[in-house]
């Protein structure tokens, strides 16, 4: 590469950049780092004619280091300090231009990795999205692609990942015990999203988001393997989710010691997914996200182990798995960022039991739109009569599908207990019923339910704070006996929430049948 300002600047070998500024020849050994725009560390080899070369490592933005090098070079190579100063200043400017060019080139290359579908692949993807029973087929095909069990969670997560193409994507956090399969579910569903549309991160530093290209993350799916190790990045995560951008101003010094500011800006929107065992720590982020609780049931254990045995026996058709995964990726590629309007929105409401109803209501409506968005090949394109804006409309079938998938999410949002505590409490009640017991001790429950002491202590504190369990006898020295004060069945709570959602849809269907559907905005079709 030749710099436009100085043709003697040669970057053909990025690890051996050369710069000629007669009588000096400067080589940048090992190149320069592209990240960290507030510094420019470099190892320079400087020589002049027959003089012995000088090698020196420094930060070209550090005025003191540069001044020392100028004096050393001028003395050793018998050259004027003004010449050396000018050469280093020009080199620094050339390296700045080169670095920004490389950052933009890499970002552009990332965007250009998009797979271009053949006519046959496009037709197959369109047929898939146009055929009936799209939701059911997608759920089943996600399973055929290698996602075992988790039928509701896997489809919910897939639709949330699909929302990355919209102006306000949804977010998701997977919760569950250590080693239960949170990361596996996220990885396997994430594998069905095109590579060019996602960024997979194992660990993340606090400043990581600020050093992406300005448009590098736009409409991307960001998969974070372990949120428990990413506390430092939770704030920028919230910012890029809520404000759809993050900015940071850094102060740098030029070779003359003058300070200047550089503003780093990274634009969204983004769809963020992460896994954690610690729900309470991420309350602010959780409020912005759908919470998926991993299935820890014995039935799920059985499904996974059956699959493992079949895989070990060579009875899993891996070629078929790859084929369906590629088809699902292709369907993602042909989805367009069309606007969605829900003519039934004003008639929808969430159960009163839900905590923080404002944000949950927004999530509920947004998820219905995500379902409609996924059905865009089955929806008539319509156009606003006044603005000419193209959009598609939500149907009652979309709302029914969303209600079914959202049932567990709304149930959790209406629960005073977090997921782990609720799971323990339900197991405790079932055990007491099966054993025909009215009271229990921590030791007896721990042994029966196979839960470790530290977790049980946390669960019991929460249950007592909410008045669901109380001490009935004993003391601190010999231990306490407890009884359950509320036997409200979680299944009954689930049925209550589902009945509320079903009643709304039934009412809307009746109104539609009688021609009393809520008046829609005027539109024209083209």
Encoding tokens for residue 76? 């050793």
Domains of the chain, residue spans: 9-111, 119-336, 419-490
Q: Dihedral (C-alpha) 430, 434, 439, 443: value to the nearest 10 degrees?
A: -80
| Distance from C-alpha of 428 to C-alpha of 292, rounded to nearest angstrom | 22
| Distance from C-alpha of 401 to C-alpha of 365, rounded to nearest angstrom | 13
Strand ranges (E), 283-405: 290-293, 339-341, 382-384, 390-393
**Measuring CA to CA, which residue among 368, 344, 365, 386 is closest to residue 520?**
344
**Which residues touch 300 (CB under 8 Å, ≥6 apart)?**
149, 150
Distance separating the N- and C-terminal Cα atoms of the chain: 51
| pLDDT for the residue 517 | 46
When pLDDT is cut at 50, 70 and 90, the band that residue 213 belongs to is confident
Q: Which CATH number fits domain 419-490: 1.25.40.10, 1.10.10.10, 3.40.50.1100, 3.30.1950.10?
A: 1.10.10.10
| pLDDT for the residue 214 | 81
The DSSP secondary structure of 87-108, one letter per residue, reads HHHHHHHHHHHHHHHHHHHHHH
When pLDDT is cut at 50, 70 and 90, the band that residue 411 belongs to is low
Q: How confident is the model over 423-454, as pLDDT tens digits?
A: 889 889 989 989 999 999 999 999 999 888 88
When pLDDT is cut at 50, 70 and 90, the band that residue 413 belongs to is low
pTM here? 0.70
Proportion of the chain above pLDDT 70, given as a percent: 86
Question: Is the confidence at residue 4, as pLDDT, over 50?
Answer: no
Q: Dihedral (C-alpha) 84, 90, 92, 97: value to the nearest 10 degrees?
A: -170
Tell me if domain 119-336 and domain 419-490 are identical in fold.
no
When pLDDT is cut at 50, 70 and 90, the band that residue 355 belongs to is low
| pLDDT for the residue 282 | 52
| Distance from C-alpha of 407 to C-alpha of 490, rounded to nearest angstrom | 13
| pLDDT for the residue 28 | 93
| Distance from C-alpha of 518 to C-alpha of 510, rounded to nearest angstrom | 12
Residue with the larger pLDDT of the pair 52 and 194: 194
| Distance from C-alpha of 139 to C-alpha of 141, rounded to nearest angstrom | 6
| pLDDT for the residue 290 | 84
| Distance from C-alpha of 381 to C-alpha of 47, rounded to nearest angstrom | 68
Question: Is the confidence at residue 5, as pLDDT, over 50?
Answer: no
Specify whether the CB–CB gap between 264 and 211 falls below 8 A.
yes
34-40 average pLDDT score: 75
318-335 average pLDDT score: 94
CA dihedral sign of residues 500, 505, 508, 509: negative
Residue with the larger pLDDT of the pair 215 and 366: 366
Average pLDDT of every residue of the chain: 84
The answer, yes or no, to whether the previous bond of 23 is cis (omega within 30 of 0) is yes
Which of 120-124, 148-152, 159-163, 383-387 has the lowest average pLDDT? 383-387
Question: Is the confidence at residue 153, as pLDDT, over 60?
Answer: yes
Q: How confident is the model over 250-270, as pLDDT tens digits?
A: 776 665 667 778 788 888 899
Kind and range of the H or E element at 351?
none
Q: Yes or no: is domain 119-336 CATH 3.40.50.300? A: yes
The answer, yes or no, to whether the previous bond of 269 is cis (omega within 30 of 0) is yes
């Amino acid at each position: 590469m030749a710099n436009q300002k100085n043709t003697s600047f040669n970057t053909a070998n990025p690890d051996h950049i050369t710069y000629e500024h007669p009588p000096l020849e400067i080589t940048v050994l090992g190149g320069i780092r592209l990240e960290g725009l507030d510094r420019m560390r470099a190892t320079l080899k400087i020589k002049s004619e027959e003089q012995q070369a000088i090698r020196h490592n420094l930060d070209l933005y550090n005025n003191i280091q540069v001044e020392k090098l100028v004096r050393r070079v001028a003395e050793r190579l018998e050259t004027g300090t003004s010449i050396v100063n000018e050469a280093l200043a020009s080199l620094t400017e050339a390296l700045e231009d080169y670095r920004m060019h490389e950052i933009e080139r890499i970002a552009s290359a990332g965007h250009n990795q998009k797979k271009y579908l053949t006519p046959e692949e496009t037709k197959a993807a369109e047929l898939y999205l146009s055929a009936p029973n799209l939701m059911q087929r997608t759920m089943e095909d996600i399973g055929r692609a290698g996602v075992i069990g988790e039928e509701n969670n896997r489809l919910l997560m897939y639709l949330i990942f699909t929302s990355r193409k919209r102006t306000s994507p949804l977010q998701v956090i997977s919760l569950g015990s250590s080693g239960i399969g949170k990361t596996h579910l996220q990885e396997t569903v994430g594998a069905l999203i095109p590579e060019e549309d996602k960024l997979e991160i194992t660990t993340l530093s606090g400043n990581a988001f600020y050093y992406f290209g300005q448009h590098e993350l736009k409409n991307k799916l960001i998969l974070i393997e372990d949120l428990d190790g990413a506390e430092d990045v939770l704030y920028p995560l919230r910012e890029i989710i809520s404000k759809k951008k993050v900015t940071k101003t850094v102060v740098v010094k030029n070779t003359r010691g003058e300070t200047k500011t550089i503003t780093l800006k990274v634009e969204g929107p983004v769809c963020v997914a992460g896994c954690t065992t610690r729900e309470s720590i991420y309350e602010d982020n959780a409020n912005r996200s759908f919470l998926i609780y991993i299935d820890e049931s014995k039935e799920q254990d059985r499904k996974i182990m059956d699959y493992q045995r079949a895989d070990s026996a060579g009875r899993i058709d891996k070629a078929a798995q790859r084929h369906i995964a590629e088809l699902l990726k292709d369907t993602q590629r042909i989805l367009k960022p069309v606007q969605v309007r829900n003519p039934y929105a004003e008639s929808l409401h969430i159960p009163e039991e839900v905590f923080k109803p404002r944000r949950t209501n927004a999530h509920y409506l947004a998820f219905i739109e995500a379902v409609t968005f996924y059905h865009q090949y089955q929806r008539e394109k319509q156009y606003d009569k006044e603005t000419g804006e193209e959009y598609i409309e939500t149907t009652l079938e979309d709302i029914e599908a969303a209600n079914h998938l959202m049932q567990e999410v709304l149930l959790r949002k209406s629960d005073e207990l977090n997921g782990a505590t609720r799971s323990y409490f339900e197991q405790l009640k079932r055990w007491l019923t099966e054993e025909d017991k009215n009271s229990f001790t921590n030791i007896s429950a721990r042994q029966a339910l196979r839960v470790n002491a530290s977790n049980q202590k946390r669960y019991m504190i929460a249950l007592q704070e909410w008045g669901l369990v109380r001490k009935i006898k004993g003391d601190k020295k010999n231990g306490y006996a407890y009884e359950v004060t509320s036997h409200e069945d979680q299944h009954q709570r689930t049925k209550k929430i589902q009945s509320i959602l079903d009643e709304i849809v039934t009412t809307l269907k009746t109104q539609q049948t009688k021609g009393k559907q809520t008046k829609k905005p005027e539109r024209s079709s083209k």
